[in-house]
Amino acid sequence: MRLGVISDTHGLLRPEVLDVFEDVDHILHAGDIGSLDILTALEALAPVTAVYGNTDDWDLRAKLPKVAQVQLDGFEIVVTHGDQYGSPTPEKLNAAFPDAEILIFGHTHKPLLTLVDVVVTAMNPGAAGRERIELLPSVGILELEPGIPPRGRLVPLTDGA
C-alpha cells in the first residue's frame, strides 16, 4: 500500500502534489488544511484520512477530528497536527500514543522522517502550502507491506510558486 502524506497546505494545493500522489492508495493530511476544497481535490485521487490543525476554521473542525487513528495494511497509524503538544516531536507523540506504529504530524513545517523507540516510524511531511520560514514545500510517501517495516521518503515540491 502506498500512502501520500501531507500537512500544512493552508489553503494552497500545489499542482505537483497531484503528480506525486497520482498512484497512492490512501492520503493522510495532518491538519492546517485551510479549505474543504483541498480535501475534495485530494479525495479525487484516493481516500483521505484528515485531522484539523490550529489554524483551521470551524467548518473543518466540525467535520474532522483532532486525532485520527486508522489501521492500514496491518499498521496502527495515528494522524494529528500535533499543536496540542506545543512544538511536537516524535518522542512526545510516541509517549502520547504508545500503541501506534506510525505517527504522522505537522505544525512545525519542518520535514522529518525518523524511527522512535526502534520500531515506530514518525513522519512530518513538512508544509505543502506556501513557502515560509525559508523551508521548501514538501510532502511524504510511505510504502506499507505487512510484515516489514514501512519505507518512507520526503518529496520536495519545486515549482517555485
Residue 161 belongs to some domain of the structure:
no
CA distance 50 to 120: 20
CATH label of the domain that carries residue 9: 3.60.21.10
pLDDT tens for the 161 residues of the chain, in order: 999 999 999 999 999 999 999 999 999 999 999 999 999 999 999 999 999 999 999 999 999 999 999 999 999 999 999 999 999 999 999 999 999 999 999 999 999 999 998 788 999 999 998 876 678 899 999 999 998 999 999 999 975 44
State the pairing for strand pair 120-124/67-72.
unpaired
Residue 28 belongs to some domain of the structure:
yes
Grid coordinates of 143:
510504502
CA distance 42 to 49: 10
Residue 151 belongs to some domain of the structure:
yes
**CB atoms closer than 10 angstroms to residue 113:** 17
| pTM, entire model | 0.95
Our count of domains for the chain comes to 1
The range of the structural domain enclosing residue 46 comes to 2-156
